[in-house]
Structure 1
Amino acid sequence: MATRQASWGNLLSGPNLAHSMALSGGVALHAINVFIATTVLPSVVREIGGLELYAWNTTLFVVASILGSALTPTLLSHSGSRGAYAIATIFFIAGSLTCALAPSMPVMLIGRTLQGLGGGFLFALSYAMIYAVFEEYLWPKAMALISAMWGVATLLGPAIGGMFAQLDAWRAAFGVLIPITLLYIALVWWVLPTRNRGATPSTGKLPIAQLLLLIAAVLAVSAGSASPDPLWNAAGVLLAIVLMLFLIYKESISQVRLLPRNALRRKSPLLALYLTIGLLVIGMTSETFMPYFLQTLHAQTPLISGYLAALMAAGWTVSEIWSSSYKHNGIRRAIVSGPILILAGMVVLALATPIHAQGDWLILAFICLGLTLIGFGIGLGWPHLLTRVLQVAPAGDQDTAATSITTVQLLATAVGSALAGMLANLGGITHPGGIEGTSSAAFWIFAILAIAPLMAIGSAVRVVRSLGQEQQLQLSAKTAS
């Protein structure tokens, strides 16, 4: 198996094609919803208010997604693949309906939470089933295909959201997701078996304490970020750090874990992988306010601003598909180069976005360059980072390792979005507001969050060293034999 050549033809033919459609479709639905919400939120705020709660739309969505991700192994074990997807879509439809009917921002947040829970299930189910339905030599291609759905979402999500926003019918943007979701579950029911052939019996136990600590940490930093008072911001961050330390301790002594065994030990290869994945995603969450910046500072329509913001995901998709066939030295170069490109993109955005240019094409070109660099940098090593998580996970922890990918990714999204919200408030997006406050907020978001890819360079080097040592051992063993 190790010598078999992975190709897109192998992945997209025979039974693999049907499985690819089912797994990638769930991520596409989740991702399209993310871009729809991002595109229409400025219109939502103009109609029902709640600018001070703007970032909470993403935070609560992702917190609920983390919960869904952590519950996925148990859901799969008890309900099988079809049942798990059915439950996921029920939550997703309920959330979409609530958003479509929301009379106020608090009700909208309830809908986004339900959407997040369903989306978390859909997102984690895709990764949880990769190792079960595909052979290992196809894992990097499957990872790339699933993440490529974010590229599909860059075409459909902003188009749907922007079209309805410009028609002053943002509610229909959420409503249209309901029939699409019903069609998707019909496809899954037809394609997937009743039971996942790779499923392992569930103990019925969940890492409740770790989940509560994780959610409390995210909510703490989010609650602090909602205040314009720096003391509350600092208090939220400090409380989140304390809660995360308790979580790490609980993981080290518990039999039922949120992550694979020994994942958080200092010399664990999984720790370096999780740090790299998380820091890259935090850099990407700088996109949270981009449609608002583009509409306020650069005179762009909801449709155009949605597409420009989606350049980040488009760059991610292109580079991930391109790099999925890399081997050995190519993989190592991609993993280290990614954070460097993201850092460069963040610097470009910190300089260009705050300028009140009202549509100047040169400034918009630099913004497009920055967004593309960030996305390209994330995708460059992404399929190999995720595949590596499955490869180095301890025996018997494959289910936990698969869902940990989405848990870490979603946690980083929640923390990054909360930090973006905090930096926006501190920068003055609501006080003094207007052009001056929005410009200041744009600078501080990109300048401060650029620290994340800078730190990711160090963790990526650790990943590459571990990978290089393993490849050297394999080469030596092969030579000896």
Structure 2
Amino acid sequence: MSGSVNKKEEASWGMLLHGKNSLKSLALAGGVALHAINVYITITTLPSVVRDIGGLNLYAWNTTVFILASILFSAVTSRLLSKFAPRNSYLLATLCFLVGSVICATAPSMQILLFGRFVQGAGGGMLLALAYSLVRVMFPQPLWSRAMALMSSMWGISTLLGPALGGIFAEYDIWRGAFWSILVVGIPYAILLFTILPTENVTDNIVAKSPLPYQQLFLLMFAVLSISIGGLYNITLYHVLSFLLAIIFILLLIHIDKKSNDGLFPKGTFSFSAPLAPIYLTMALLGISVQTEVFVPYFLQTIHNITPLLSGYLAALVGAGWSFSAIISSSSQQYTAQRLMRFGPIINFSAIVILGLFISNSVTLPYGQIIVICVALFFTGAGIGMAWPHYLTRVLHVSQGQEAQKAATSITTIQLFSAAVGASISGTVVNMAGLTDPGGIIGAKNAAHWLFIIFAVTPLIAFFTAQIVVSRTSKN
């Protein structure tokens, strides 16, 4: 940690973005940016991909397999840091990410593309987890919130680059070029890492000696896969059974992790009387809610006849709203931060309901239909972003000792797992609602309506769990 420095000065953006801290910030935020740019490239190009190589019924799997790999490999991040130190750990993650991008760029079928997405996800998961894990050891505590906000802001920057790269290539029917373009960003980043990051170990060796929680990791994976596989069939019984099976896997995970002396999650994660449980639950519910974003370009192109480039930028408004509000809110005082944590989820809920009505054309306006959609997309992300840095900082504050590193890594696991569950459920919902049968404009309208209306439930629940988080924060 840092020495004795004026607290107000420590907490300024200047302290984070100047001197040695600026190089550290560039390394950590750069990995998040690389991951985020890829997310928006993929979202923007997917409609063109399925028109070229098929696989509309596997549309959501592009997100699911990416995130599953991210979960599995983010779990080994602490051990990577202990064994290889920051520089080599980051280089390994970046190499894995770039190899996956090459596979995606050369994929002749959706199945091969999904394999490439898995390899990409492995690298992306490590990049995200490395960033969160190193915040608490590379920056003084007053800068944690700023550092978290900086990493969130990378999603905002990526909303400019990702849709541009993906959209331009999709416009000219050369979507493969979008994946090749990732190397243009990734290779210079790898060179930068080699010159910036330390080669010495900065983490506790206790983490390296502890066994990997294989059982919990595979139960997480099975829970997500059961929902995804059930969603491939237009049979209600299969959907019900797949959700029941997922619940069983999650309950088994909780049972095993609570009994384990060295679990996947820090102690108290599954006890609502402990401070971590309501924070993680709120974050998970909000993480699920934004997975509707995956289908936004498809709906806009199919229902509203919007071009690939523009639809990519409109979908990216979710990330832009998240990033903008995260930066603005990161410097909030405690009272304001608590209000943002309380009311962010209800803003997210309201925006998703509006999207369900207007993207599907269930409600139509003579003028301004797309403007309403744009505003709703922005506030879907803003409702989360205004509260997110404060949830993250709260996790770090309530975690002590050996559990602190695990809590930091678990932020990524919770975020990725919720995204994987959200992507799996979204795939099931749209397939049930007619995306592929009857398909076309009619199927897209019905799928859009039900997707957003059903997903609005998650931020509504998060609104109530957030009240618990804030009430406990106030007492402390």
Deviation of 1:196 after TM superposition, in Å, equals: 4.0
Q: Deviation per CA, 1:412-433: give whole Å up to 9, x if none.
A: 1000111111110111000111
CA separation in 1, counterparts of 2:120 and 2:239? Answer: 27
Q: Deviation per CA, 1:297-335: give whole Å up to 9, x if none.
A: 011010000000000100001110010011121111000
* Change beyond 3 A, Cα 1:359–1:156: farther
* Change beyond 3 A, Cα 1:89–1:80: same
Deviation of 1:87 after TM superposition, in Å, equals: 1.1
Secondary structure at 1:210's aligned position in 2? helix
Deviation of 1:388 after TM superposition, in Å, equals: 0.7
Deviation of 1:106 after TM superposition, in Å, equals: 0.2
Q: Deviation per CA, 1:138-175: give whole Å up to 9, x if none.
A: 00000000110000100000000000111111101101
Residue pair 1:221, 1:236 contacting (<8 A) in 2 also: yes
Residue pair 1:133, 1:198 contacting (<8 A) in 2 also: no
CA separation in 1, counterparts of 2:458 and 2:362? Answer: 26
Which of 54, 69, 73 does residue 49 from structure 1 map onto?
Answer: 54
Match of 1:197 in 2: 202
CA separation in 1, counterparts of 2:440 and 2:366? Answer: 19
Q: TM-score, normalised by structure 2?
A: 0.97
Amino acid at match of 2:128: F
CA separation in 2, counterparts of 1:330 and 1:195? Answer: 39
1:305 aligns with 2:311: yes
Alignment of 1:157-172 (within 5 A): 157-172=162-177
Which of 297, 300, 303 does residue 294 from structure 1 map onto?
Answer: 300
Q: Deviation per CA, 1:65-124: give whole Å up to 9, x if none.
A: 111211111111111111111111121111101000000000000000000000000011
Match of 2:360 in 1: 354
* Change beyond 3 A, Cα 1:260–1:177: same
Which of 114, 119, 142 does residue 114 from structure 1 map onto?
Answer: 119
CA separation in 1, counterparts of 2:220 and 2:272? Answer: 20
Q: Deviation per CA, 1:42-63: give whole Å up to 9, x if none.
A: 1110000000100000000000
* Change beyond 3 A, Cα 1:347–1:359: closer
Match of 2:67 in 1: 62
Amino acid at match of 1:70: A
CA separation in 2, counterparts of 1:196 and 1:7? Answer: 28
Q: Deviation per CA, 1:339-368: give whole Å up to 9, x if none.
A: 010011011101101118999751111111
Deviation of 1:233 after TM superposition, in Å, equals: 1.1
CA separation in 2, counterparts of 1:59 and 1:426? Answer: 18
Match of 2:21 in 1: 16
Tell me the percent identity.
47
1:4 aligns with 2:10: no
* Change beyond 3 A, Cα 1:359–1:103: farther
Match of 1:144 in 2: 149
Deviation of 1:266 after TM superposition, in Å, equals: 2.1
CA separation in 2, counterparts of 1:463 and 1:380? Answer: 15
Which of 178, 181, 198 does residue 186 from structure 2 map onto?
Answer: 181
Q: Which runs of 5+ in 1 are unaligned?
A: 471-481
Deviation of 1:262 after TM superposition, in Å, equals: 2.1
CA separation in 1, counterparts of 2:246 and 2:450? Answer: 21
Alignment of 1:452-467 (within 5 A): 452-467=458-473
Amino acid at match of 1:244: I
Secondary structure at 2:348's aligned position in 1? helix
CA separation in 2, counterparts of 1:317 and 1:246? Answer: 35
Secondary structure at 1:228's aligned position in 2? coil
Match of 1:156 in 2: 161
Match of 2:326 in 1: 320
Which of 252, 258, 262 does residue 258 from structure 2 map onto?
Answer: 252
Q: Deviation per CA, 1:232-266: give whole Å up to 9, x if none.
A: 11111110000000000001111121111122112
Runs of 4+ more than 3 Å apart = 198-201, 356-361
* Change beyond 3 A, Cα 1:100–1:359: farther
Which of 381, 394, 398 does residue 392 from structure 1 map onto?
Answer: 398
Match of 1:409 in 2: 415
1:432 aligns with 2:468: no
Amino acid at match of 1:173: A
Secondary structure at 1:397's aligned position in 2? helix
Secondary structure at 1:168's aligned position in 2? coil
Residue pair 2:357, 2:363 contacting (<8 A) in 1 also: no
Number of residue pairs matched by the alignment:
470
Alignment of 1:24-35 (within 5 A): 24-35=29-40
Match of 2:249 in 1: 243
Q: TM-score, normalised by structure 1?
A: 0.96
Deviation of 1:40 after TM superposition, in Å, equals: 0.3
